[in-house]
Amino acid sequence: MKYEQLARDIIANVGGKENVYSVVHCITRLRFKLKDTKKANTETLKNMEDVVTVMESGGQYQVVIGNHVPDVYHAVVEVGGFQNHDSVEQEEEKGSILNRFIDVISSIFTPILGVLAATGMIKGFNALFLSLGLLEESSGTYQILNATGDSLFYFFPIFLGYTASKKFRGTPFIGMAIGAALVYPTLTDVTATDPLYTLFTGTLFESPVHITFLGIPVILMTYSTSVIPIILATYFSSKVEAFMKKVIPDVVKMFLVPFLTLLVVVPLTFLLIGPIATWAGQLIGAASIAVFDLSPIIAGIFLGSLWQVFVIFGLHWGLVPVAINNLTVNGSDPILAMMFAASFAQIGAVLGVWLKTKKQKLKTLSIPAFLSGVFGVTEPAIYGITLPFKRPFVISCIAAGVGGAILGAFGTKGYIIGGLGIFGIPSYINPQEGLNLAFWGMIVSIVVAFILGFVLTYLFGGVNKGEQTEEDTSVEPGKTDVKVEENLVIASPLKGDVTPLSEISDGAFASGALGSGVAIEPTEGKLYAPVSGKISALFPTNHAIGLLTEDGAELLIHIGMDTVQLNGEHFSSHVKQGDVVEKGQLLIDFDIEAIQRAGYAVTTPVVVTNQLPFELTATKQTKLQAGDTLMQA
């Protein structure tokens, strides 16, 4: 399993699996619910090679991984024995009301975000094809694509019945059955007939009654695409189910618990929960639109400029159900539309950093962060590039605020929950008017936000004025990269064959994310000091060592690929952390044949982890003796 060791390290540093209530993931991060966050080794996690950063927000301990988080999540689940995010017994949620609300919403919506975005993208592009005249509404192609795009959202109560039941510790299939009852076609067709009578005539809650249940009037609502009714119904269902499990004998629990739970909850949902929840949703929708209508421009500035801050702290989850509710009630939503320019402002800032910086490592990191941001995944850009520099992040927020103001001024609204980044563009096509002025206003907003983010960062981002990213902060106090002498010579620490760093199997080293350098395929199991200096780091397993030269250059030597899993076996160190060593001094012995028999490669990267004010040139020789020149200025 590719990420098994990473999963083990993460679980160990969140306090062990016994400290984990549950774990889920979103687009870029693992979201842990921990029994005691004080047991987590946050700084250790932040310094791990495959971890971008760690956040605590919304009652969750969030380990930011990046785009490959689904693979890491599956490894964490398998290694930790977490069958699903409710597989570990949980205590009653603690924390502020806001934290508990954010946790509930994120837990319910996170599992279906990918499919929700995918179906929204299909529906959005279908609308684009219709507007451009590429498809006709009567064509079979359009209708099948429309059915695919509508599939999840129309039957939303069924999907939410599943995820909400898991969150509330009920049986997911009972939640799905409740959701299916709410969108049952025969009941939705009943409203086309003449009503028996009308309740609350002349009031805001005037409701025609078409059917009764045991003589009690049923107020039928439109529950397809709805959110609040099914969430409240599944919460109530979980309580009823828990009660039934206590009072019903074990021998008949399998069928009597769901039988009685559905008999109680479904009628009660149609009679009481559904109508009240629907009216509440209508009030929330009307209130959010009223606030937006007071000043769309101010609303755009506020939501646009703060959206990335909301994302960092997980607070954006509070707006997701409001937006979906607006789509259900009004057919459109201006709330999430106001933030659409934010990701484009962010990638504009990243582009500014990439073109401005003189640091090759930062340039290397900026490219994948930019590409991820184009498709709306901005966490690598935020945590890896702009936030550590501070000023580019602030600039991106300002640019996003300007973009939000433009969106507000044009009255741009979203009509589906679609994709992110460029895939989100079709979400703003008006189903009736097509590519109207509001749509083109959206195009203007993202272009302006991108250009502002880029230009302001390039001119005023302070990229080359001493601001350091987190990866550069390990220089010893009093030492800075600009003091490194330009006559620096790094000797080969090993006897062996030289290999370009880009050709080795470890992606973190090969990409240059950990520093620039070369790799050596050793033919002798002895590692010597390539420079004079101080042992700044020595891993307990003795498979990796860090050295700091007197003038501040930092070197990392990692013997083999994934050899940390050997737990120190076949490695023997002759020094300890903090020792001062001379160039050519023996540092570590290792058994090449034993390591290879254990299934591990001994390819050894030698990299400079901090950025130097000059370029290092690697030797052109392919075979070296220990002590031969490996890199020099």
> Residue 223: which of 262, 167, 278, 297 has the closest Cα?
278
CB proximity list for 186: less than 8 A, separation 6 or greater: none
In the 3-class helix/strand/coil scheme, how is 524-539 assigned residue by residue? CCEEECCCCEEEEEEC
* CA 493 from centre of chain: 40
Q: What whole-number distance in Å separates Cα of residue 291 and Cα of residue 296?
A: 8
Q: Is 26 a catalytic residue?
A: yes
**How many CA atoms are closer than 13 Å to the CA of 236, on its beta-carbon side?**
20
- Residues 527 and 606: beta-carbon distance below 8 Å: no
Which residue type sits at 593?
A: E
Q: Whose CA is closest to 403, among 369, 363, 443? A: 443
Instruction: Return phi, psi of residue 527, to 5°.
Output: -110, 125
Distance of CA 590 to the CA centre of its chain: 39
Taking the CA of residue 599 as centre, how many other CA atoms within 13 Å lie in the half-sphere pointing to its CB? 4
Q: At 71, phi and psi to the nearest 5?
A: -65, -40
**CA dihedral of 605, 610, 615, 618, whole degrees rounded to 10:** -10
Q: Which amino acid is at 41?
A: N
What are the DSSP calls for 197-266, one per residue? EEESTTSTT-EEE-EEETTEEE-----TT--HHHHHHHHHHHHHHHHHHHHS-GGGHHHHHHHHHHHHHH
d(C-alpha 136, C-alpha 161), whole Å: 35
**Where do the DSSP E strands lie in 505-622?**
516-522, 526-528, 533-538, 544-549, 554-558, 571-573, 580-581, 586-590, 604-608, 617-618
Write out the E strands in 243-378.
Answer: none
- Residue tagged active-site, from 6, 20, 26, 416: 26
- Assess contact for 606 and 516: CB atoms under 8 A: no
Asked if residue 167 lies in contact with residue 108, where contact means CB atoms within 8 angstroms, the answer is yes
Tokens read off for 262: 């559905």
Q: Look at residues 190, 184, 187, 186 and name the one whose alpha carbon lies nearest to residue 155.
A: 184
Contact criterion met (CB below 8 Å) for 278 and 270 = no
- Cα 68 to chain centroid distance, Å, stands at 10
- Angle, CA of 388, 394 and 395, to the nearest 5°: 115
Helix and strand numbers (H, E) in the chain are: 22, 22
101 and 318 Cβ atoms separated by less than 8 Å: yes
> 285 with 327: CB under 8 angstroms?
no
The span from the CA of 281 to the CA of 443, in Å, is 31
Closest CA to 159 of 184, 177, 185: 177
For the annotated catalytic residues, the residue numbers are 26
